[in-house]
Chains A and B, each alone.
Chain A
Amino acid sequence: MEEIKIDRELDLKGEVCPFTFVKSKLILEQMKPGQILRILLDYKPSVENVPKSMREEGQEVLEVKQIGENLWEVVVRKVR
């Protein structure tokens, strides 16, 4: 499997909706198209909501994966 090169990582443990998306979006806005952001989440509803909102904004969601007990990662490539 091809390794994804992460350009930035955002630890949002302890954050809830909608701020998980708001904070992810603010970081992504300041990245360049093509760059990749990895977001760590421990709030389950955000694991659905962040990728959904990212797709609505036209960004590419590369991965949504549980990586620990009550811990998830969402990997997004900035399209625009």
Chain B
Amino acid sequence: MSFQFTEEQIKRYSRHIILPEVGGKGQKKLLDAKVLVIGAGGLGSPSLYYLAAAGVGTIGIVDFDVVDFSNLQRQILHSTERVGKPKVESAKMTLESLNPDVKVIAFNKRIHKDNVMDIIKDFDIVLDGSDNFPTRFLVNDACYFLGKPLVSAAILRFEGQLTTFDYRNKENSPCYRCLFPEPPPPGLVPSCQEAGLLGVVGGIMGTLQANEALKLILGIGEPLVGKLLVFDALTTEFNIVKLRKDKKCPLCGENPKIKELIEYNQACDAHF
């Protein structure tokens, strides 16, 4: 293995390089890695920030929204003077100024059945930080069909959830539909806009998503596959619930019914 780092890179990544589990070899893996983050909001802000700081060389961001004052309580990539600007543009500015080694690819669009495969196909790992079920199901199914690992997190009020679906190894990984076979009826689950959210919950869960991505890239530790991590901010407790692969799962079960992408109706124009 050979690698050439500049003086600036040696300094920037020295705390990684010192780690026996990372070293120059691991840092090169990070610089060569391509990670896609869905949503530059409450979850995407911390995950994108840490992935860029870590030197993940190519980072894709998908978001169709613009920065709003109501985002700034938790979406730390953005700032007051960027209200009204597209989130992907604001995110790109923040990340590139943090680390010029990172190539940021901005997708200023909503994910659809017709673009999801194209957006995802060139990335190694996908992080879902979206806030609506149609997007979650589309991203999950596309990752499943393309065999890409998906690190999924969700936040609401004082609670956060996290799990990793490793679709490189479909036999041994449950999928999102093992957990939720299909979207809940509209109105059953409140969106962040109506339900409220303690900002730091996004910070914690998004940071954990970045941690999962870094472990997958480096091939160290154990990814959170087959386990759902549940965080309660009010008690500061983490619990792990086992997830099993469902034989009757409509996507990854023994007789799968879903063989192509499905576009569910957008319940509302929810913001990331």
- List residues of A whose CB falls within 8 A of some B CB: 18-19, 21-23, 25-26, 29-30, 53, 56-57
Pair B24/A25 contact, Cβ less than 8 Å: yes
Q: A25-B17, A25-B18, A29-B1 are in contact. Are A19 and B24 (CB under 8 A)?
A: no
Pair A29/B24 contact, Cβ less than 8 Å: yes
A18 to B10: give the CA distance in the assembly, Å: 10
Asked whether B248 is an interface residue with its Cβ less than 8 Å from the other chain, the reply is no
Q: Which 6 A-B pairs have the closest CB atoms?
A: A26-B24, A22-B14, A29-B24, A22-B17, A30-B2, A57-B20
Q: A19-B10, A19-B11 are in contact. Are A26 and B5 (CB under 8 A)?
A: yes
16 contacts across the A-B interface (CB closer than 8 A): A19-B10, A19-B11, A21-B18, A22-B10, A22-B14, A22-B18, A25-B18, A25-B24, A26-B3, A26-B5, A26-B10, A29-B1, A29-B23, A29-B25, A30-B2, A30-B3
Contacts of B1 in A (CB 8 A): 29-30
Contacts of A57 in B (CB 8 A): 20
Pair A25/B11 contact, Cβ less than 8 Å: no
Interface centre among B3, B5, B14 (most CB of A within 10 A): B14
Contacts of B5 in A (CB 8 A): 26
For chain B, residues 5 to 28, give those with C-beta under 8 angstroms from any C-beta of chain A.
5, 10-11, 14, 17-18, 20, 23-25
**Which chain B residue lies CB-closest to A21?**
B18
Contacts of A23 in B (CB 8 A): 10
Contacts of B20 in A (CB 8 A): 56-57
CB < 8 Å neighbour of A18 from B2, B14, B23: B14
Q: A30-B1, A30-B2, A30-B3 are in contact. Are A25 and B23 (CB under 8 A)?
A: yes
**Which chain B residue lies CB-closest to A58?**
B20
* New A-B pairs, 11, CB < 8 Å, besides A25-B23, A57-B20: A18-B14, A18-B18, A19-B14, A21-B18, A22-B14, A25-B17, A25-B18, A25-B24, A26-B5, A26-B23, A26-B24
* B9 shortest CB reach to chain A, Å: 10
* B3 shortest CB reach to chain A, Å: 7
Contact flags B56-78 to A (C-beta < 8 A → 1, else 0): 00000000000000000000000
Contacts of B3 in A (CB 8 A): 26, 30
Contacts of B2 in A (CB 8 A): 30
Interface centre among A18, A22, A53, A57 (most CB of B within 10 A): A22
* B220 shortest CB reach to chain A, Å: 15
Contact flags B17-44 to A (C-beta < 8 A → 1, else 0): 1101001110000000000000000000
A49 to B256: give the CA distance in the assembly, Å: 58
* A49 shortest CB reach to chain B, Å: 11
A25 to B14: give the CA distance in the assembly, Å: 10
A21 to B203: give the CA distance in the assembly, Å: 33
A35 to B1: give the CA distance in the assembly, Å: 15
A57 to B25: give the CA distance in the assembly, Å: 14
* B15 shortest CB reach to chain A, Å: 8
* A50 shortest CB reach to chain B, Å: 12
A28 to B205: give the CA distance in the assembly, Å: 37
A26 to B3: give the CA distance in the assembly, Å: 8
A25 to B5: give the CA distance in the assembly, Å: 12
